[in-house]
Homo-oligomer: A and B are copies of this chain.
């Protein structure tokens, strides 16, 4: 039963409209949903000037309000980024529709047949900050998986999100699907975010995306089931046997390719037995790309240009061209350090030692664990899921990069011929 305390006037009605639209989406055909996605991609391209203009207002407000460079980068929509949004939506057209997929099934000894079938959640809520591409990603993935979506994108991206939700609603209506299936509650301000977290019975699952602070607030305050997506204090461990070139290229890629996102490395640990071999080329390469190295004393003994790491640095998600570097004496010490400081998002080991690779994969308790690859691959797009809903750092329901199946539930369908239980 719906229970919402102190929802602002009109809020519950909007969520009930989303729920009613979700019932229609749940039985829409794959073709109808794909037509809507194609219409969204076309609308993004047709409205690119309008989107960039709306985004420009948000960027100006953000600069005036003192947003960091990292946040301004997340907020920015230029022509190229709108085009990649449209391409990502078109990729979703090509993905398999998870609704109706039979996950498991069998016949019981008495002839009763059971099947576990994928069904949409109903209404997916999202709370995020300053990242308007999430509006398009979540609305499109929710649509393909048969869900309505209710979005709270935050005041910093309010103009961008209003433009994007408007064009998505228009695209839905243009193919005969209910425009209520994608809603924003940005106009309710902070009250809307609070009401969304208490909308148990109206919203089936809530996905927070943004700062650790935002995610913690949603996780502890929400009575709606949450999928925690995550802050990434991501580690790379350079083992004693690491190939120098791989260490240099993977650390450089993981730190500098897009510093403002969650799968970017924040801490590099190096085995003492390889510190003198690996640290100079790895850190020279980072420094040449403008990275500030925060390091422990053992690292600074080998590479003196580093600034001294503070206690907080080891747990910091910089979202900027900064990295923390430390020397450890063993793979055990590396794993223990990661257990202590990691947000359990993504960690990678660079090694040629099979036993250490297997230990790292088994004992590091993170959503994605890697050997000899850049942490930047921990991403729904890279994994082939199309645009991603987020990267779950919890263990329930979904863990790691989420795609379409993660936006569905299941139901058991049981067919009998009058059987009773004996």
A residues within 8 Å of B by Cβ? 23, 27, 106, 108, 112, 114, 116, 121-122, 200, 204-205, 219-220, 223, 225-227, 243, 245-246, 249-250, 252-254, 257, 348, 361-363, 365-374, 376-378, 382-384, 394-397, 399-401, 409-421
Contacts and interface: CB of A to CB of B under 8 A. Distances in A.
Contacts of A253: 420-421
Contacts of A417: 246, 372
A205 B205 CA distance: 16
**Copies in the assembly, this chain:** 2
16 contacts: A204-B396, A225-B225, A225-B226, A246-B418, A249-B420, A365-B411, A368-B412, A369-B414, A370-B416, A372-B416, A374-B421, A377-B421, A378-B412, A383-B412, A399-B409, A400-B410
B225 A416 contact: no
Contacts of A249: 418, 420
Given A219-B223, A245-B418, 8 more contacts: A23-B363, A108-B377, A108-B384, A112-B377, A243-B418, A371-B416, A374-B416, A382-B421
A159 B400 CA distance: 42
A205 B409 CA distance: 18
A118 to B, nearest CB: 10
A396 B409 contact: yes
A415 B122 CA distance: 36
B412 A225 contact: no
A41 B254 CA distance: 51
Contacts of A419: 372-374, 377
Contacts of A370: 413-416
A395 B122 contact: yes
A415 B384 contact: no
A204 B367 CA distance: 14
